[in-house]
Amino acid sequence: MAMMLTSIMYISCMKSEECTEDKLGSIYGIVAELSTAEPMRAMGIELYKSDKLLLKTVTFDDGHFEFV
């Protein structure tokens, strides 16, 4: 679910004219079990651009991840 939201945010930025240049920023999120809302730890998160893997990380004990 979190990966879909991240993808949607990134794709919408790619289509806008103000995002045509490389820009710095951060992406933060929390991965939780859908049925219980419990945070999921040690889940792999990957960030892609044009089918090329840019960054990888793993969620912390409280389910959060961050790309700076």
Query: Model confidence over 14-25: pLDDT tens digits?
Result: 555 555 567 788
Using alpha carbons, list the distances in angstroms from residue 26 to 6, 29, 47, 67. 11, 10, 12, 5
Answer yes or no: are the C-beta atoms of 34 and 43 closer than 8 Å.
no
Higher-scoring residue by pLDDT: 11, 28: 28
pLDDT digits (tens, 9 = 90+) for 30-59: 999 999 999 999 999 999 988 999 999 999
